[in-house]
Amino acid sequence: MRHLPFLVAIFTLLSCGVVGAQGADECANAQPIALTATGSLTVQVDTSAATDSNPALPDSTICVGGDIGTVNADVWFSWTAPSDGAVSFSTCANALFNTSILMYDAVGGCGALVELACSGNGGDSCGLACANFGSSMANVPVLGGESYLIRVGGFDAASIGVTDMEVSFVAIAAPAALVCEYDAPSDTATLTWENPVQYDTVNYYLNGVLSGQLDGTAGPVTGTFNGVSAGATRVELEGVVGTETSSLTCCYIYRPEDCPPTVAGSMIPYAAGPTLVGCVACQANNLHANNSYLRAFDLVNGYGISDEITVECVTTTAEAVPGGGGSGTQPIRVRLIIDTNGGGPQNFTYTAGTNVAQTPDPGNATMLMVYEEEFQVPLAVGVPAINFVLGTGVVDPDGLGATDNALQCMTSYGPSAGLVVEIYTPDGQAEGHSWFMNSTDATVENGSSYIVSLDCGLNTPSPLSGIGFPENRYVMDIGYSVAVAGTCGSAGGIANLQCNQTPGDTTWNLSWDDAGGAASWVIEVDGNVEATVDSTQLTFTTAAQFEYQDTDVLISSWTGPGGTGSIINFAGCTLQTSPANNWPSGASVIASGTYQQEIATPYTTTIGQPLDLLICDFGTGLDQISNDIFVRWTAGFDGDVLVSTCSAGNTITGGDSMLAVYTYDAALLDDPSLVIACSDDANVGANPTNNPACAIFLAEAVIPAVAGQEYLIRLGTFNAAGIGTLEYTINDCQPTADLAGTADCTNGDVSLTWTPNTNAASQEILRDGVSVATLGATDNSYVDLGVADGTYVYEVVTDCGGGPNPAAVIVGVLTYTDYSDLIFAVEGLADAGDVGITDSGDLLLSALTSAGRNAALVRASWLDYPCALDANVTNVWAMTGTVPNDYRITAAEGDDLAALGEAGKGVYFEGGDHFGFIHVPSLFDGRDGVDDLTYDTGDGDDTFTAMDGFDSGQGLDMSANQDIPYTQDQADDDWTDQLTLATTDAGVASAGVIWASDDALVDVNNVPIPQYNTGIASTNTTGGNTVVQSWEFGGYGGDQTTLATDYADFIAGGGGGGGPQFKRGDTNQDGGFNIADEVFLLAALFSGGTPCGCADSCDQNDDGGVNIADAIYGLAALFSGGPAPADPGPSVCGPDPTDDGLTCDTYNGC
């Protein structure tokens, strides 16, 4: 491979303009892009009438993240690089629908595409998101003279339309890895970046204006400049060689607005503040939630401010402000609130459902919002400081009269009154809106910090210390001017009340300051006096409080001893008591069993230490378990132990729980190095008990326990929004493993095998809940003899001395007796028998029997049913169902299905997710008529609610069936696979589409949905024919009996004359072939006997007529060694393979 130096001969010709091409529907006809030199042009992209292409889904190693989608309704362009360099493609400027762009190396042609790059939801060079989910694929290295293919489509099937795509090419690479920082005290912007080649110089632009040059030396470079304007500045670098320039590399720097010169002082000067320690915020559904960040300020006692002041500036800092979608800004509100109680805003209530979202309740007289202003904050990362200068935004945005930022003396509002400042992020769930507000070390800060976020269940202001962050304070500085100097004094008494729960306990530690004048303190809890103490005592520990309850504490200061004299002031707080086992030091000691505990914010919060991803990696990048609780458990004996949240009793929001297991150490507790197992998303159906309650977002782990060892178990939720009942199980007597069951198709014997628990004391076998055998502790198999036809739940119940622990398996029993059609209804076998809304197996059986066919159903795999090869079996029907109740066939089962087809059996296969999602290759792929190159590309969506039929051209014509309604098996979540017709399947002679989505279907925006295939009929090169479809037979809204008959005739008949099933020579329709048939035929022909109800069965010589020659032919076959009647013959039911003029109006011998 040739290396790209990027620095090439300088081009003096620039290319620009607009090209009218709209893209070709197929790769082979890709529309050329006429960009032949350095420059850019715009091409129009029109996918309105485009179809889906064959290439597989984007390469996950190149397209990181889920925003690339499935690239539906795509169009193709081709482009040849004029020289070595870099090319960019973008729909960002004018995206009118959700686009995705992929780029391929075209050397191998359309049949051997090599993906080079892609873009789903893109952004500009500074990371500002494209509007309407446009795409931007920038600076892809290319080689001069080589051709490339560009594929532009929609994120999903609903994303179609017309848009513009900008294409640009440069011959030199752009500066890379740009990082921008700004130091406010020195007014210096420092840039670090990488020059991939030697430039003559590097131009830098500030807000689009060329502002100077920087070092062009190849390699790592640092540059500085001064004179940065207030606000956000977009910095762009451009490499220059001769007259050639690179594309731009971008970052933002942010210089805070200066506070007004009238500011005389502040409360917590930011420049003198301690090191930042990160943010505490709520996120929900992977988006930043609406958060309110609050700080309480005791002006007189905490900050010595004895003046009447006017608040002019609020300073804070943020880790990142990504900016709102395509706008580049997002709203932030600043509020000034008077806390008349002075104990912090715990009793601050919010009115939900109003146009203000989180406005203080006007009826709450203790919290008075006196000022509110909304600001638009620009895009910035690593914001060192933000000054909200009051009066420069939108004051009183909701017209509530909150316009007064001039504060009276606090004592005029109440003897204990204080100031609360709130910074609120409305529209937190909007595109791109994120405000990660920094916090700092609490030990060097006065006052307390609080958070409110309805999405995380924090409906009233909760102190950070009460939700697991006692060491954090939000960064807020209040810049003020003096209105009236020196008029405010302290009321004395109590100040700076702090209330913190004792870790691992339900008691609370109270501490406060003496502001002077008090002789005693009276401590009340929920209105009851709990203690009266001398003024020299400045701490108090309460009695144990009730978990999950709010308790009000009020401490009053008195001029006399023992709570006598007059009251000076008071301060209060609300104790929101967490369960003691919210801390590892308070872990509950439990035995094996099933338990429930409420997860409810703000009571259960995130306390445990972050996990070490090298020891415990959930695969999501998360290293924390939210809303965690801790329990301790000691192993009674050696052996595997199951720790699981898989239970029907779980009501956690979103059903998403997590767990970790530690070796218990009383000193180290939840030290990450002690983790021995962890779990986030359990595998459905793969848990030891095949528990249907083990949904994908629940958690379970198996640990190899050691007798006498104590373990610390941590359980919680995926994020702070997960609340509800958490039900969990500690099971030290695990059920048997590897339980499997099969039935003998000749006699009904059921054979069970398993791996027993080595600690078992006894084992018992149950059939449908009834005991059929008691076994020894080490037995690993059992045979239940002669079981009647039916479907049974077998359980092997293990008892280690502490109670039963069952493992279950579903076994279908069918003793074969010359059935022509065998239905293998495997849907639900991997999901404890749950077949979803529609039981297609039962409905198919009803349809076939109504059509007069000798059909039977068994809920087992054809691989475990050797009788399927019996000569009397005409058709095999495989019903695998719809995700999540579907049955995913193995390679061995697919191979066996192919072998049945090659042996002459007609094969029908249905599966909602078999073709389009994690397909398992097998020999059946060569007989199913579906393009092998398109497996895992047509995972589909939930739009299949009606269908149109087509003539396959293979002898199966569904074209008379139009606009047929379909009942989804998983309503609103069906994921019907979209099929591509094969042209090269080795075992297929020819194939055709029989079903596609209804052409009248539209999406939620009333835009027509392009048709996609869901059913294919194939005539095979050997054996029987095949029908496959990605929807369930039971959901078909037309005549199911007619559909089953048409399918049965086609797959059994090899595409011949078709027609009803019959046995040739069985003229009297008693199911046999003997002298009685010839007597019946002769009577029908010559003596007025009952006429032939099925002329085809009487046409024994298959010459297209019924006459004396047929009776002679039959007698010869029976008594003088003549040939047997032609296919389907006298012993097997089947259609007439000869296309003659005879009919079979009625036949009852099958």
Selected residue with higher pLDDT from 128 and 339? 339
- pLDDT score, position 678: 92
- pLDDT score, position 191: 92
For residue 842, what is the enclosing H or E element? helix 840-850
- Please name the residues in contact with 1084: beta carbons below 8 A apart, sequence gap of 6 or more: 1067, 1090, 1091, 1092, 1098
End-to-end CA distance of the chain: 67
- pLDDT score, position 433: 65
Question: What 3-state class would DSSP assign to 733?
Answer: coil
CA 831 – CA 834 distance, rounded (Å): 6
Region 129-144: mean pLDDT is: 81
Cα distances from 566 to residues 528, 533, 560, 888, in angstroms, run 19, 15, 7, 79
813 pLDDT higher than 90: yes
Q: How many residues does the chain have?
A: 1150
DSSP code, position 1083: H
Quote the percentage of the chain above a pLDDT of 90.
45
Read off the pLDDT of residues 572-631 as tens digits, 9 standing for 90 and up. 888 889 999 999 999 999 998 889 999 998 889 888 999 998 998 887 778 889 899 999
- Among 148, 143, 193, residue whose Cα is nearest residue 33: 148
350 pLDDT higher than 60: no
Tokens of 859: 């809920």
User: Do 1033 and 855 contact (CB within 8 A), yes or no?
Assistant: no
- pLDDT score, position 728: 93
CATH architecture type of domain 839-1053: 3-Layer(aba) Sandwich (3.40)
DSSP string, 180-213: EEEETTTTEEEEEEEESS--SEEEEEETTEEEEE
1144 pLDDT higher than 60: yes
Question: What 3-state class would DSSP assign to 897?
Answer: helix
How distant is the alpha carbon of residue 986 from its chain centre? Answer: 37
20 pLDDT higher than 60: no
Which residues is 992 bridged to in the sheet? 1017
Omega into 866 within 30° of 0, i.e. cis? no
CATH of 737-813, one of 2.60.40.10, 2.102.10.10, 3.40.50.2000, 2.40.50.140: 2.60.40.10
Burial annotation 238-257 (CB, 10 A radius, 16+ → b, else e): bbbbeebbbbbbbbbbbbbb
797 pLDDT higher than 60: yes
How distant is the alpha carbon of residue 449 from its chain centre? Answer: 34
Region 671-678: mean pLDDT is: 95
- pLDDT score, position 18: 36
CA 316 – CA 300 distance, rounded (Å): 22
Question: What 3-state class would DSSP assign to 1079?
Answer: helix
The neighbour count for residue 903, using CB atoms within 10 Å, is 15
Q: Which fold has domain 178-255?
A: Immunoglobulin-like (2.60.40)
CA 188 – CA 182 distance, rounded (Å): 6
Give the domain ranges of the chain.
18-170, 178-255, 265-484, 494-576, 584-730, 737-813, 839-1053, 1059-1150
Region 5-20: mean pLDDT is: 31
Cα distances from 1057 to residues 359, 1050, 1069, in angstroms, run 77, 9, 21
973 pLDDT higher than 90: no
- Please name the residues in contact with 1120: beta carbons below 8 A apart, sequence gap of 6 or more: none
Same fold, 178-255 and 737-813: yes
Pairing of strands 31-32, 72-80: parallel
Cα distances from 236 to residues 91, 115, 180, in angstroms, run 21, 29, 10
DSSP code, position 709: -
CA 993 – CA 988 distance, rounded (Å): 14
- Please name the residues in contact with 550: beta carbons below 8 A apart, sequence gap of 6 or more: 574, 575, 576, 577
Selected residue with higher pLDDT from 839 and 464? 839
Read off the pLDDT of residues 264-308 as tens digits, 9 standing for 90 and up. 877 776 555 456 666 777 776 555 678 888 888 888 777 778 888
- pLDDT score, position 459: 74
- Among 401, 339, 410, residue whose Cα is nearest residue 371: 401
- Please name the residues in contact with 903: beta carbons below 8 A apart, sequence gap of 6 or more: 869, 1023
The pLDDT confidence band at residue 834, using thresholds 50, 70 and 90, is: confident
User: Do 730 and 643 contact (CB within 8 A), yes or no?
Assistant: yes
356 pLDDT higher than 70: no
CA-based angle 1065:1067:1073, to the nearest 5?
50
Residue with the two structure tokens 């999406």: 1003
The pLDDT confidence band at residue 17, using thresholds 50, 70 and 90, is: very low
DSSP string, 150-168: EEEEESSTT---EEEEEEE
- Among 37, 31, 117, 126, residue whose Cα is nearest residue 74: 31
351 pLDDT higher than 90: no
The pLDDT confidence band at residue 1058, using thresholds 50, 70 and 90, is: very low
- pLDDT score, position 2: 28
54 pLDDT higher than 80: no
- pLDDT score, position 324: 44
- Among 179, 99, 172, 169, residue whose Cα is nearest residue 138: 169
- Please name the residues in contact with 296: beta carbons below 8 A apart, sequence gap of 6 or more: 339, 344, 345, 418, 419, 420, 447, 448, 449, 450
16 pLDDT higher than 70: no
Tokens of 324: 């709102």
Q: Which of 205-219, 307-321, 369-383, 883-897 has the lowest mean pLDDT?
A: 369-383
1084 pLDDT higher than 50: yes
- pLDDT score, position 15: 34
- CATH top-level class of 584-730: mainly beta
- Among 634, 598, 594, 599, residue whose Cα is nearest residue 729: 594
- pLDDT score, position 697: 79
- pLDDT score, position 1048: 95
CA 624 – CA 864 distance, rounded (Å): 45
User: Do 929 and 991 contact (CB within 8 A), yes or no?
Assistant: yes
Query: The sheet that has 114-119: what strands, in order across it?
Result: 31-32, 72-80, 147-154, 99-105, 114-119
Question: What 3-state class would DSSP assign to 795?
Answer: strand
DSSP string, 442-500: GGG--S-EEEEEGGGTEEEEEEGGGGT-TTEEE--EEEEEEEETT------SEEEEEEE
For residue 558, what is the enclosing H or E element? strand 550-558
For residue 786, what is the enclosing H or E element? none
Q: What's the CATH superfamily of 494-576?
A: Immunoglobulins (2.60.40.10)
- Torsion 218-220-226-228 (CA) sign: positive
Region 921-949: mean pLDDT is: 90
CA 698 – CA 656 distance, rounded (Å): 5
3-class SS letters over 582-600 = HCHHHCEECCCEEEEEEEC
Supply the CATH classification number for the domain 18-170. 2.60.120.380
- pLDDT score, position 231: 77
Read off the pLDDT of residues 985-1032 as tens digits, 9 standing for 90 and up. 999 999 999 999 999 998 877 888 999 999 999 999 888 999 999 999
- pLDDT score, position 38: 87
Region 692-706: mean pLDDT is: 79
221 pLDDT higher than 90: yes
Region 1104-1121: mean pLDDT is: 92
Selected residue with higher pLDDT from 319 and 744? 744
Question: What 3-state class would DSSP assign to 901?
Answer: helix
What backbone phi and psi angles, to 5 degrees, belong to 1018?
A: -130, 135
- Among 356, 316, 311, residue whose Cα is nearest residue 337: 311
Query: The sheet that has 724-731: what strands, in order across it?
Result: 593-599, 724-731, 639-644, 700-705
Region 1071-1091: mean pLDDT is: 92
- How much is the mean pLDDT over the chain? 84
CA 844 – CA 825 distance, rounded (Å): 10
- pLDDT score, position 62: 64
Q: Which of 403-407, 687-691, 923-927, 1059-1063 has the lowest mean pLDDT?
A: 687-691
Tokens of 112: 């051997």
Read off the pLDDT of residues 435-451 as tens digits, 9 standing for 90 and up. 777 777 666 566 678 88
CA 658 – CA 625 distance, rounded (Å): 6
